[in-house]
Every structure is written in structure tokens, then in C-alpha cells.
Structure 1
């Protein structure tokens, strides 16, 4: 996808911000009353280029908005918050920049990321340096299981939650039980993990995997795979792709005129907007969307629209929400100490997360327990503007259900925090 959503921050301005951090007084004691700096720096890493770039732009814009709102309401115990945002590009770059932000820029915590492999690399730095890292976009179950870290928390949903949310809608539509499914999957850590969770769901719900292909993240021409789908005639096409891959696939799928229903287990609303009315098809899970009917959700939507002339999408929600959670926790504790914040979050602190129910982090894997949604594309003749192009389920889990029913159990995804 070549479209850009919003204005890019210039790399020159980022370099200036980094240079300023070198000469600004470093944070001394993490206790706010003793801190020597007049600002609290938060490091924000997320992809700004490549196939995840369109999502990263929403992340940066929403994080900036959150910091502006935090500062306008008094900051953190009277101190301003300063955001240091950079392009994480790949796992090696993400790790190097995270380490520089901690050791040189003296950031109080790290927020962001979308790529699961990069999130793992950042979490290793955060654990070693004992600095809080709020993951806002990486879905891999392994980050909550075998690769979990004490200083790593997840605002983003895990893959299993995404599969189970969309799966509920697909089962209700009669598209799973006894059906032949063909899966196209992004060939990197996120995709591999998502396919693993999808297969568990298919087996549990009596679907047959008729075919599967791994798709390189740089691929833009899907015609060979579309021809295979035409020949295979599945009952359902599952698109386990990521970022701009999904937009490109949906556009080409529409051009081929294939009649098979489409769905996916990982999604961001920006990708639906990129595909556009008539090209966006099927049923997908989202962690949040701009039409949620709650006061805080609509306040966020209005503020984002006023600043950026468009609604926010779910990746933006993740980074905005993480910033607000961090600021609220620091204000409640009157400290920027990461260990104290970790303990605070593990004790069951609750947060308004722009949904109908508050969210909280599970103490044993640090996953945010929250409502999710499944969206389904509207027919092109029912679309009235470029953004409201889908219908949505109510919150999942429903009002009478425990928030943890979509997430993995300890037996399914054991986490043992490193010392």
C-alpha cells in the first residue's frame, strides 16, 4: 500500500529531539519529588516504513495526541511529558534504538511496536534495563507465553483473542463447521503464530484445512495464489496476512472476482480504508474501532478528527491508550519507577480504555483483559463515506461474560517471568 495517512514527522526533527536529550538534565531518582529533569521522556518505537508503515503513522499521531492531552491536564505530577518517536524498521534497529533511548536519552519507559519480532527484541532490552515496555501492536502468543517478560505489558490483544473473536462471528455465519478452509499467511513471526492459533480453532470447530501458503512480507502480486484459490474452490479463504499485504490482497481478490467468502484473524481498520468500498470484503477481528458507543471512545474520536481530519483506527487507539495508562499510573504512584509501575499493574489497577468496560492486566502474563469486536464489510452500495464501511458486533465477550474467556489459559500458554 502506497497511501500515507497523515503527515510524517521529519527525521531531522527526530534527530534534533535526540540531540536535545543529550544536553538536557538526565532523570535522577525515579521518584517524582526528587527528579532533576523538568520533563519525563517516553520512548516511542513503531514501524514508520515498509508494509506496517500505514499502521505506524496512526500510532505516532495518536501517541502525540495523548501526550498533548496529558500535558494540558497538568502532565505527571506537574512535569511535562516529552515523546521521543522513532521508526523501529526491523528487530535489529528496534533493539539498538531501545537501548539508546534507555541509556542515552534516559527515558522513563518504552511504548509501541507492531512487529512481533521487534517487540521481542525491545522486551529483551527492557528486561535487562528494568524499564517498563508497553506493547501496543504485537500479537504473538509467544510474547505472553514462552517469551514473556516481567517488564513487558500488552495493550494489544494476543493472536488467540483475535482468532476467537472473529471465530465467534464466523461460526454464527455457518462458515466454519464442516467447511474447507484455505489459509494465506504472512511469512514472519506474527503470521506463523497466528496460523498456529487458527489451526487450533479449525480443529476444535470441525473445519478442514484444504490448503495453506506462506506469503513473503514484501510480495505485492498475489495472482499466483489467487489462481490456486480459483482452482481449489474452498468454502472460506482465511487471510492471515499483515499490514499493507491485506490491502493489496483484497484489491486483487476483488479484481479477480472470486466468489469465495473471505475472512481473517488479524486486522487493522486502516487496511479496510486502504482497500476502499467495494474492495473491502469479509469478516475480521478488531481490538477497537471508531464507532464504539462509549463517552471516552467518542471523545478520543472527536479529538483525533479535530487534529488529523480523519477518525483514528485501532492501532492509534493502542498507542493512545498505552500513553494514558502510563501517565495515570505514574500520577497515582507519584513515581516513574518502572518496578513500582509493574507492581501497581499486577495488583489489578483498572483503566478507562475507551470501551464499555474498564480493562485490567492479568498478573501472570500481563495481557490487558478487555472487550473486542468482529467487523463485517458493508456492500459497496450501502457505504456512505470512506470510513464507515463495516458493521460491528457488540463487545466480545458479552456483558454477562468474564473478560478472560477469549484469552489463553495458563495451561494453554504458560508464562514464567525471568528473574
Structure 2
């Protein structure tokens, strides 16, 4: 996807905003600017744009209700195509556009780079989608994260394997031979580290670990190693391109482990299933942000979100990244609206006062900023591709289908 300058500056029209919420409240007239920093071109553009759409829908809703502190929210958008551009765009948004805070960024390494710039400039930075530990473990004062983390992803993967997948296979989880593979940035490395720790706590047998660049064009050697080690369960933490590459090459070599559990957006996207074929991805598990085939009582408002998304973009959501960004941004903007101003410390005070219970958002998560400015009420979901759809299978309270195995 090429960077489109339509993203540069977005003011949500009163017509669109009114359509979103059925025409309530008078629109605001003054403007307050916030930054929106995502990879909108390059290899991560698809999920970058999907994440941005969630933020945009939250702004629609806020502006339809009168804006923030009586002012219309304007998004000044930057393209974080790589770490260097993320830094440059963060500087531009702060110095030239005078944004009051920055929302972003989906890709962990780019979030880490850009948020350091914001911290030095004393501008709040709200991470809505990146999961690496370092995003909120650097002791920064003005960097906040609403989404679940690498820790949550790894924890859910291991718990789903032990409590759900192994019993469904009819085997003791300690008898399974497990292989961990991941892309080698902060994102994959963080998840892999926690997977090892949780696996060891449960006495699981890890027989292979390997990392690779997300830009890899050949993973056949990794597939061969998995086969030679007779790996029963593959845990892959990946972006979209490397997810597709692994699934294709595993299929080409007729490698069929008892279970593949993906971590991250690559495994949760409809375009990934279409790229590899539904016959190939059927039965594959994924742990990620809340997706759309979920019990709506667990995620109140999710059906309205999907309706608004389809009306605005004339297609169905492509991933739960839009939903998680929407849920986080909406609550952050509501908190700022309830605050006393737009200085960094006034925004920080408002954000630290957030108290949204679990189940209080369309993504099912709650929001309470705790240690390291991390949301302590965030969680991941366990899904499985079944008959062309990604359905929630874990935990039980959110599930809409039972797990399936071919064993």
C-alpha cells in the first residue's frame, strides 16, 4: 500500500459523525489536534491502516458527541514506515503540527522509537496496539498503553495449549514436543521470552527455538528443522508476510504438526487466510486481540462497532486491530474530555483517573492504568480458523465454538 496523503490531516465531518451515532449532540467548533502515527505504507501497511481506522472511528464518535472539552478532534497523521521515519514524523507532529498527544502505532519497534521522542518533548504518547515489553518498561512518564502485551499473549497461548488443545488431542501437555519460532524484533523476542517462561512453569517440553527477520523470503530451513525435531506444536509470533510464508512452506513440505498456534495480527487477518487458502489455514489457532466471532455479551458494543466500520469503509473489518485501537482511543478521549485541559500533566492526570471495568468496552477489556503506565485490565483471546472463519474458542466465557483437532 502506498502512502496516501488523505491520511495527512483528518477532520471528521459532522455528517459522517452524525451517521455513526444516529444524530446526537451538536458538533463542536474549535479544534484540538492529536497525532496519529502508524505504518501506512511499506510491509506493515495493511495492519497499520486497519489500526488507524479504529482510531478514526473513535474520533468520529467523540466528535459526534461534541468533541473533547468542547473542541473538535483533528487527527494529524504520520507514516511510520520504519523506525527512522517514525522518529522524524513524531518530531514533525510535535514541533510543526503542535499536537497535544500522539496515538499509535501497532509496530513495537516503531512505537518504542517514536515514543522516546514524545517523552523528551513532554507530549503524551498513547500506544493502542504494540505489545513488546519495552513500550512501557522504560520508566517513561508520558507513555501509556491500553492494549494487552507480549506477556498476555504468551500467557494465553500456553494456557490455551495446556487447558484446551492438549486435552482435545487426548495427550498430557508435557508429552508434546514444542517448537518456538518468532520474528526477531522487540515484538517477537518479547513474546518468545514469555512463552519459554510460561512453558517451563507448566513443565512443557521445548525442543526447538529459532528466530528470523520478519523480511525473510525463505523459511524452508526452519520447516525442515521442525520436521527433524518431530515438533508436535509450533508457536509462531509473526507479522503477516512471515505468517503466510511459514504456512505455505509448511504445507509444501507436507509438515502437519498436531497444532500451530500463531501469535499476532498475521494469523488473525482475513487476507492471510485468502493468501494461503482456507484449506491450509483451517484448524490453525491464533492468540491475539479480540476478534469478531465472539460472544457479544463478553464484548458489549462490538456489533455496533462492526456496523459503523462497514458503513464508513464499505467492507468488513479485516482484523481485531481496528477494534482494539477503537476501544483504547475512545476511552482515552473520554478521559481527556473529562479532564481540565490539554497540557501534558493535565492529560496525564485525566488518563490515570480512568476506571473502566473488564467487559466495559467493545473489545471486552477494561482500562485502568497501573504500574509502568500499562493497562492492568487488558487480555488476549484464543481463536481458531474453522470453515473459513476465525472463531473465538478460548476462554470459555468468550467462546462461540469448540476447539477442533484432526487427531
TM-score by length of 1: 0.79
8 Å CA contact 1:180, 1:234 repeated in 2: yes
Cα offset, 1:394, TM superposition: 3.6
Specify every segment of 5 or more residues in structure 1 that has no aligned partner in the other structure, as ranges: 19-36, 399-419
Equivalent position of 2:237 in the other structure: 240
Aligned-pair Cα RMSD in Å: 2.5
Q: How many residues align?
A: 364
Partner of 1:343: 349
Deviations 1:180-229 (A, max 9, x none): 21122102121122211111112111122212222111112222222222
Question: Does structure 1 residue 157 correspond to structure 2 residue 148?
Answer: yes
Decide whether the 8 Å contact of 1:137 with 1:318 is kept in 2: yes
Q: Which moved more, 1:305-314 or 1:359-368?
A: 359-368
In structure 2, distance between residues paired with 1:396 and 1:75: 35
- Taking the aligned partners of 1:338 and 1:396, their CA distance within structure 2 comes to 39
Matches within 5 A, 1:28-39: 38-39=30-31
C-alpha contact 1:346 1:363 (8 A) present in aligned 2: no
| Preserved CA contact (<8 Å) 2:287 2:383 | yes
Alignment of 1:8-407 (within 5 A): 10-11=4-5, 13-14=6-7, 17=9, 38-145=30-137, 147-172=138-163, 173-174=165-166, 176-260=173-257, 261-267=259-265, 270-271=268-269, 273-276=271-274, 277-280=278-281, 281-292=283-294, 293=296, 294-308=299-313, 309-350=315-356, 352-356=360-364, 358-378=366-386, 382-383=387-388, 388-394=389-395
Q: Deviations over 1:262-291 (max 9, x none)?
A: 113434564354223222242221221113
Range that drifts further, 389-398 or 358-367: 389-398
> Is the Cα–Cα contact under 8 Å of residues 247 and 272 in structure 1 kept in the other structure?
no
Give yes or no for contact 1:288–1:372 (8 Å, CA) kept in 2: yes
| CA shift for structure 1 position 9 | 6.2
**Within 2, Cα distance between the matches of 1:268 and 1:217?**
11
Unaligned runs of 5+ in 2: 11-28, 167-171, 400-407
After TM superposition, give the deviation of residue 138 of structure 1 in Å. Answer: 1.4
Check 1:10–1:142 CA distance in 2 against 1; reply closer, same or farther (3 A cut): closer
Please give the secondary structure, in 2, of the residue aligned with 1:86: strand
Say which SS state the counterpart of residue 177 (structure 1) adopts: helix
